[in-house]
Structure 1
Amino acid sequence: MDLFGQVNVLSINRNSYCLVVIDDFSRFTWVFFLFNKAGIVDQIKKKRIARQYSSVRTPQQNGVAERRNRTLQDAARTMLCDSKLLVFFWAEAINTAFYVKNRVLINKSQMKTPYEILYGHKPSVSHFRIFGCPCTLPHLESNCKFNAKADDCYFVGYVICMAYMVDNKKTKQIAESYDMLWLEENDTDARVGLY
């Protein structure tokens, strides 16, 4: 496991650190976002992990986690640049990158994805979407016949139960839902200047 941060831009949930935990056998990855370093101890206790220390300024001793950190950060940077969403979506981009990588990267020693090694079956990828793509979130009920029936949103991640996280442009909040109308074919340049 490895920690990166302090990120100079707080995430939407006001976090500035990311703890990356990797299963050595399957290479399945988990990420935990933290406001400060003090939260690490609680996360380690929840996962029942024995703490081991490496020497200061010797990233070579923790090569697997260091490489995974860099891979996740590079993927998140690319997704943020391509989507034209603001930097404070960095945690959502990293969360999306780890979610996808667990389900598509092949562990060369076993020729299976980390998800398949850990859970014993192939993961579904049919629900994958382009990070930052426009979508609409339907209202469950409307109190006026002529009010909008849906809000414009942008896809910003997955919830473990295969639901989606979207940034609602109207409410400026993150929402979770299964029910979306996807507009992936729309030009991503329409997102510039939204915030």
Structure 2
Amino acid sequence: MDNGASSYLRFLNGDKNGFVDIVKDYKDGLTLFINTIVKDIHISEEAANEVFLKLYVKKPKYKVQYSFKTWLYTIGKNTAINYLKKFKRTDYSNIEDCCYISDEKDIEMDYIKGEQNLLIHQALKALKAEYAQILYLIYFEELSNSEAAEIMDKSSKQISDLIYCAKKALKIELERRGNDGQI
């Protein structure tokens, strides 16, 4: 059982520090994963907070035979999709067009180490959402293909194909940005 699962079970048994540990361990990663879906860091932060609020208030059942991170990120994906539906009618400016993007930079700089990873992370934003999601889950969150398949509701074959296409698209995007395409 990973740390998230043990923390969640501690929380369910009345230990409020278990919940604090979950938020501390998963907030940044969950927010950045949701950002690959909604493409707005502020909405991503709000959606991540909603995920944690659901855990705190509703205390959904968690089956210990599954990865806690996979379970949590699946809740995050579903929450992000609901946010997209909710905000679909409203026209928002892209975060890149705003003059106050320092909040996004702080989260990214704390979470992503090194200039190369930052360049890759920025290139991910230009990719198709599905490509950005799979690359983020596999390479930044270090999930297995089967865990990513569960989160994205895809088969193993679809995940393998998606990873291949996503890596190819990332290489093209990095080359477009002046990088030699090496990851």
TM-score grouping bracket, smaller chain normalisation: under 0.3
Q: With structure 1 as the length reference, what TM-score do the two structures score?
A: 0.25
Q: Which has the higher strand share?
A: 1
Q: Which has the higher helix share?
A: 2
Q: With structure 2 as the length reference, what TM-score do the two structures score?
A: 0.26
Higher Cα Rg: structure 1 or 2?
A: 1
Which fold has the larger relative contact order, with Cα–Cα distance below 8 Å and residues 6 or more apart in sequence?
Answer: 2
